[in-house]
Amino acid sequence: MATAPDLLAGTRETIRAMRDGDVAEVVGIERASYQFPWSEGIFRDCLRVGYTCRVAAISRQIAGYGVMSVGAGEAHILNLCVAEAFRCRGLGHRLLTLLVERAAAVGMKEAFLEVRPSNTAAIRLYLAHGFAHVGMRRGYYQAVGGREDAAVLRLGLRGGSRTDL
């Protein structure tokens, strides 16, 4: 199998809808990326209920993914993850841009997400996209030896016109 640098050399990723057949590969990235990963069943449920599920693929290899729910004027970014070998190359930025544009395009007025306050890489990414800290959810996350709070971040959206995202 080609290495991440080989795959990235001159190759632009494709961001497309996640399919059932992607879930095993997505779960592999999820397990390697989080201490308390989503199960395969959660990803399948997200696909089944029609959440916005996207993957970034490079030469058919999945490098990252994002999952978002939309409704009642609000988008909720539920998961955003890039495989370790592909990080710090702008993929997280491009996946997040696509989700936010999609939320605006389908008429959502604001986007929310939760993030561990200890996750400085993700927080920097979200702040760079204009998300702002609007609150804390106490004990929201599982953590080793107890629970960890979640920071709640919000982004106001303006209506867009793209529907191909």
Ligand X SMILES: CC(C)(COP(=O)(O)OP(=O)(O)OC[C@H]1O[C@@H](n2cnc3c(N)ncnc32)[C@H](O)[C@@H]1OP(=O)(O)O)[C@@H](O)C(=O)NCCC(=O)NCCS
Closer residue to ligand X, CB minimum distance, 2 or 121: 121
Residues of this chain that interact with ligand X (CB under 6 A) are 33, 80-82, 87-93, 115, 119-122, 124-125, 128
At its nearest, how many Å lie between ligand X and the CB of residue 62?
12
Sheet of 14-17: strands edge to edge? 14-17, 52-58, 61-71, 74-82, 110-115, 146-156, 132-143
Closer residue to ligand X, CB minimum distance, 105 or 152: 152
What's the token pair of residue 142?
Answer: 């599982």
What's the token pair of residue 61?
Answer: 């290899």
Closer residue to ligand X, CB minimum distance, 117 or 159: 117
What's the token pair of residue 6?
Answer: 């080989």
Closer residue to ligand X, CB minimum distance, 49 or 88: 88
How many C-beta neighbours within 10 Å does residue 110 have? 15
DSSP codes joined into one string, 51-85: -EEEEEEETTEEEEEEEEEEETTEEEEEEEEE-GG
At its nearest, how many Å lie between ligand X and the CB of residue 71?
20
Closer residue to ligand X, CB minimum distance, 32 or 159: 32
At its nearest, how many Å lie between ligand X and the CB of residue 121?
3
Q: What share of the chain is helix, strand, coil (3-state, %, to 5)?
A: 35, 35, 30
**Residue with the closest Cβ to ligand X?**
92
Q: Report the C-alpha gap between 64 and 73 in whole angstroms.
A: 26
At its nearest, how many Å lie between ligand X and the CB of residue 154?
14
At its nearest, how many Å lie between ligand X and the CB of residue 5?
14
